[in-house]
Amino acid sequence: MAASGYTDLREKLKSMIPQRDNARKVTEHATDRKRKYHDSEEDYSDYEDYREIEASKVKSGIKQVKIFSVEECAVIEAKIDEVVSKAEKGLYRQHTVDRAPLRNKYFFGEGYTYGSQLEKRGPGQERLYSKGEVDEIPDWVHELVINKLVDHRVIPKGFVNSAVINDYQPGGCIVSHVDPIHIFERPIVSVSFFSDSALCFGCKFQFKPIRVSEPVFFLPVRRGSVTMLSGYAADEITHCIRPQDIKERRAVIILRKTRKDAPRLESKTLSNVSLAAATSDHQQILKPKRSHRKADPDAAHRPRILEMDKEENRRSVILPEHRRRTSYSSEDYWRRSYDISENYEDADNDVNSVRKVKMRRH
């Protein structure tokens, strides 16, 4: 190990890992320092000082004000429900609505590709959709939200050309990310509705099961409050919404301005991608998985039978009564056992209906 120039295997492994974007480096650096300064109180306090410095940088890029009253929130929330209803009826364009487990997005004015929609993964690969691919910003968003922010001098008039509504169900989340710097100007403005929540900075997500690391900075977000991100908070560290912070339904309206030089998908490329997806879906519809068994119209109304329950039921029928097990494999065991036993007794009464089973020794 010394001959190769490394005295610690961790140093060698670290040298082999390519550098990632600034937001990820901040999180990894914080984790490395925490591991390094965990042995002594002096070193641990050094790590805590580092976290305080990071937190102060994040705070410097955050502005938060309470503008909307409870009554105004109720009116806007009713409008959000109308958006959800129209989406369920299929009244919006294809790229206006983006559904995910416990979280739906509604793009207005401008929409963009992200996550699994990207042709190439990684930061900087996001692209705006072609003009006309998403619906225009609804009038009520201008009248009830944007104009009020302009009146309170939160944003200048004409600033917003992109509005996104994120609708979260309890336990919903959005993973750590930085709003694409090459697409959106700063600040990033968001207004919260339905319930209180929190915005966390510098977290790292793990999945199966989902876990989230301790945030560098935790920002409470109240119903009716307006949050603006710029500087360090918007560009140099990731932000997220953790599942544990969505205890009730929560919606947020994100107001942004796209950059003039933001990259945009070409209409030809977009149509090809949509056509390929439609063709793939059509093939799946035309070629379903087939079964040689006859369809049973009553099967959908019967309780699901597990493999372990099948074995349990077989034993309850074949074995003598004094050798049958008394423990149950599932909550539906008694009902299935009763049905099978009844059928078995009927079979004894009719010799022709008895099914012969050939037993094989192993």
Q: Annotated active-site positions, please?
A: 112
Which pairs from 177-181 meet CB under 8 Å and 24+ separation? 177/23, 177/238, 177/239, 177/240, 178/21, 178/23, 178/123, 178/234, 178/235, 178/237, 178/238, 178/239, 179/229, 179/234, 179/256, 180/112, 180/114, 180/123, 180/124, 180/126, 181/235
Nearest-angstrom CA–CA distance, 82 and 91 = 11
Sign, Cα dihedral of 326, 330, 331, 335? negative
Task: Write down the residue that tokens 């079964």 correspond to.
Answer: 291
Cβ within 8 Å of residue 345, ≥6 positions away: none
Residues 27-45: b if buried by 16+ CB within 10 A, e if exposed: beebeebbeebeeeeeeee
Angle between helices 41-60 and 22-36 (to 10 degrees): 160
Contact 109, 136 (CB under 8 A): yes
Radius of gyration of the chain (CA): 29
229: β partners: 62, 188
Distance of CA 125 to the CA centre of its chain: 20
Contact 250, 192 (CB under 8 A): yes
Tell me the residue ranges of DSSP E strands in 149-196. 162-168, 174-177, 188-193
Cβ within 8 Å of residue 232, ≥6 positions away: 57, 58, 60, 61
- Taking residue 140's Cβ as centre, other Cβ atoms within 10 Å add up to 16
Nearest-angstrom CA–CA distance, 58 and 51 = 11
Angle between helices 333-349 and 307-318 (to 10 degrees): 40
